[in-house]
Amino acid sequence: MEKNKNDLIMVNGSLFCGDKAFISVKNSGFLYGDGVFETIKVHHGKIFLFDEHIARLYQSLSFFKYKVTGLEDFKNEIRNNIEELIKVKNLSLKDAFVKIIVCRGEYKNRMDYKNSRESSIIIFADEFNQYPVTSYSDGVDVVISSIRRVSYQNVLYRHKLLSYFENIFSRNEAISTGATESLFISSDDFILEGSVSNIFLTKKETVFTPSLEFNILAGITREKVLKICAADKIEAKEGKLKLGDLGKADEIFITNSLIGIMPIKKFGDFILKKTVPGSVTKRISLLYQKEFD
């Protein structure tokens, strides 16, 4: 039977229709959330910031003692698989996204890294439906998550884990109120990150973002924004930001690999009084968009 190109999924280097792409129900990713993932934007066949995404994925795999090849071999394998999937699904001239999932496989007899079977690599690729233009021209709302995290000493938050329900729960707190994103705040009122994003604010044309000392993900777009600021001589600082700093900000924006740079117009009951998006956000956004050229 001919494969439906719109439904193809790559599993361990082979293409399957979605209803034929199986992993065992005993897989540790399914049973325990023992897996990591990356989501990458593809623009007209160009895999955006591929090296950075794969380096982060590989770092997580190494940290959690997955059975993987060397970095260059792993990178080449993933790139070849993505390019094949993009080609067969006719996504080369479109905006698309790729999700890479690596899960450890089945534990043989107990939850011990050494007693697990070979890892599984699953890759999805689909057309990306852009966020509404108004999200960028007018800004979006965010809420504060009801979940409070500790500020430090939980290394798991530095990795993109399949055990993602805390993020899903918080994102749906936002969606239920008509907002776009939910922000995690620590128990001592430090700003951490969004459920699916990193957060930035500006004050007097200086850009601020929470430090990686906190329990947050080292976002790929976050790092790109900091590099853009350095190259364009925009002062940027990583540090400790309190919830009250949001109310003093001139501009606020969030970042991730699919939304890019999205301005915030309101958080909780506080509405930014200055123009949204502000001049710094616009400037960084334009420079970021040039990276796709």
- Joined together, the tokens standing for residue 128 give 């990306």
Domains of the chain: 5-127 (3.30.470.10), 133-290 (3.20.10.10)
Provide the pLDDT for residue 3.
57
Q: Is 144 in contact with 182 (CB distance < 8 Å)?
A: yes
User: Does the pLDDT at position 1 exceed 80?
Assistant: no
At residue 288 the predicted structure's pLDDT band, cuts being 50, 70 and 90, is very high
- Please give the radius of gyration of the chain, using alpha carbons only, rounded to the nearest integer: 20
Nearest to 40 by CA among 54, 27, 29: 54
User: Does the pLDDT at position 203 exceed 50?
Assistant: yes
What span, in angstroms and rounded, lies between the C-alpha atoms of 104 and 96? 27
Provide the pLDDT for residue 293.
72
5 or 20, greater pLDDT: 20
Q: Tokens 């109120």 appear where?
A: 177
User: Does the pLDDT at position 24 exceed 90?
Assistant: no
What span, in angstroms and rounded, lies between the C-alpha atoms of 292 and 134? 21
248-265 pLDDT, tens per residue?
999 999 999 999 999 999
Q: Is 177 in contact with 170 (CB distance < 8 Å)?
A: no
* Count of C-beta atoms within a 10 Å radius of residue 170: 22
**Per-residue pLDDT averaged across 177-200, rounded?**
97
Provide the pLDDT for residue 158.
96
Provide the pLDDT for residue 107.
85
